Amino acid sequence: MNQDIELNTWELSEEYQALSDAVREFADEVVAPVSAKHDEEHSFPYEIQSQMAEMGLFGLPFPEEHGGQGGDYFALCLALEQLARVDQSVAITLEAGVSLGAMPIHLFGTDKQKEEWLPQLASGKALAGFGLTESEAGSDAGGTRTKAELKDGEWVVNGTKEFITNSGTDITRLVTVTAVTGMSEGKDGKPKKEISTILVPTDTPGFTAEKAYNKVGWNASDTHPLTLKDVHVPKENLLGERGRGFANFLRILDEGRIAIAALSTGAAQGCLEESVRYAKERQAFGQSIGENQAIAFKIARMRARVHQARLAYYDAASRMLKGQPFKTEAALAKLIAGEAAMDNARDATQVFGGYGFINEFRVARHYRDSKILEVGEGTTEVQLMLIARELGL
């Protein structure tokens, strides 16, 4: 055996374990009891968001000098996994608030931008969104139609955005939007859109969060289309280098895929836990249904998916924190965990039978919620493309 190979059992440190246990307890005792209500009412869980803010969850990966907890991205992932076991809407509110709302400012903002925005966002007293997706733009940056023109020291932004999380709550204060700020020459000599990112406070005249979507799942998560009509913001609201907006956001997506993988792992774990409990309690033909091999094997496969998903996102997070390349591992983690969540939700619904089709049961909500995990922040097909590209295909 090569003694130079370091074996890693992925055993959590005491600090990580304490965080995971604390968030698990919070999820079970505070989040779970109100999840069905918020899902049915399509209402944003302000009381849950406020308590997560008090726990410091929105500041986990940010430095203390900007109001954060001085932790790291893996700590955020552990929190997301525990929350998603019981409520994916709550988990995605945290994930988007940190990964998409605050992280771009932390990574690419000026000192002034960080001082102004990060303390609000890291404390959870305010939320921010990231306006990337449009009707013809998302994975395809070339489809971006929103424009920003520099006039008299101000950016004038016009366009629309779609599917923007945390963009219309009572505490949303900022949305970072991608916009075409000019044209440049591409590698093939043809004109190419210059895409930049611009900070737009939500109280800016001309900014409108339109009516919230009526979604299949994630009903307690805030999601809106946005309209920007002659929105004027100072030229200093440019985030990062001009023309690097989409490139910078790709870095955000690489990290975000690890977070979504953690969330997906939590969803898959939640389906497993509910199925084990129900299989032991539910009696049919004089015995618990878990004694039937067909049910037992189905649940065993669910357990295998959770294990694989967790190892995948732990590996990607470990590489990221060590400063190693992790793009492919992040894509693998999101692919594996997203499919694990969807497969486990489908199998859990089958284990529960008719009750699995009733919305008040957690597995039914997971069944509706989990499909978006194969779509949002990079579709399954995009992950496959990235993995194949790394293989030289």
Per-residue DSSP letter, 12: P
**Token couple for 55:** 């726990």
For residue 225, which amino acid is it? P
Who contacts 207 (Cβ-Cβ below 8 Å, separation ≥6)? 175, 200, 201, 226, 227, 228, 231
Across the chain, which distance is largest between two alpha carbons, in Å? 80
Distance between CA 360 and CA 215 in Å, rounded?
A: 17
Find, among 226, 238, 221, the residue nearest to 105 by Cα.
Answer: 238
Distance between CA 289 and CA 210 in Å, rounded?
A: 47
Helix (H) or strand (E) holding 233: strand 223-234
For residue 381, which amino acid is it? E
Characterize 270-292 residue by residue with b for buried, 16 or more Cβ atoms within 10 angstroms of its Cβ, and e for exposed: bbbbbbbebbeebeeeeeebbee
Distance between CA 145 and CA 215 in Å, rounded?
A: 25
Distance between CA 155 and CA 209 in Å, rounded?
A: 19
Find, among 369, 347, 312, 323, the residue nearest to 93 by Cα.
Answer: 369
**Is 374 an annotated catalytic residue?**
no
**Token couple for 312:** 């995948």
Find, among 239, 225, 231, 270, the residue nearest to 364 by Cα.
Answer: 270
Residue with tokens 């779970």: 32
Strand partners, 239: 197
Active-site residue among 273, 281, 377, 381? 377
Q: What is the CA radius of gyration of the chain?
A: 22
Distance between CA 274 and CA 364 in Å, rounded?
A: 11
Distance between CA 123 and CA 56 in Å, rounded?
A: 7
Give me the active site residues, please: 377
